[in-house]
Amino acid sequence: MEPVSLTAAAIATLVITKAFEKTGEIISEKAWNEGEKLLVLLKRKEPSTAKVIEQAKTQPLDYNQAYLVGQQVEEAAKKDAEIAQAVEAVANEAQPQLTNTIIENWQGINIKGGTNTISGNTFNFG
């Protein structure tokens, strides 16, 4: 089974809304920096989209809202080559890490922290 493939715009949206920061996922500093560059560009060229993204940093979006923001970023990238290039830069930095995290989560091995608290249990099967 292959992990879900995400569009560049979807990846960029996840990074610039800092969705992974809240869940403790590891995204490289370069990906965060590229995301900030994209946000500055969106503020200049697509202020309404940038405003929603800024709000998402403090108040997380639900799935439908996040999807709509991703669509707005994708549309902006289709209209403007500079935005498209910035979206690709974010996606290229974040993609390898996201793929590994998705695979680890799918396999159930992405457990961070915690300790083993099972001890001295007896199982009786009748």
What is the rounded average pLDDT for all residues in the chain?
72
Amino acid at 42: L
Rounded CA separation 48/75 (Å): 13
Q: Which residues contact 31 (CB under 8 A, 6 or more apart)?
A: 15, 90, 93, 94, 97
Residue-wise pLDDT tens digits, 3-48: 334 566 666 666 666 655 544 455 667 777 888 888 899 999 999 9
Q: What is the mean pLDDT of residues 84-111?
A: 67
pLDDT classification of 56: cutoffs 50, 70, 90: confident
> Quick count: other Cβ atoms within 10 Å of Cβ 114?
6
**Would the pTM of this model clear 0.75, i.e. be above it?**
no
> Quick count: other Cβ atoms within 10 Å of Cβ 69?
22
| Separation of first and last alpha carbons in the chain | 38
Residue 79 pLDDT > 80, yes or no?
Answer: yes
Residue 25's Cα: distance from chain center in Å?
9
Q: What is the mean pLDDT of residues 58-64?
A: 75
Residue with tokens 């001295």: 120
Q: What is the mean pLDDT of residues 71-83?
A: 90
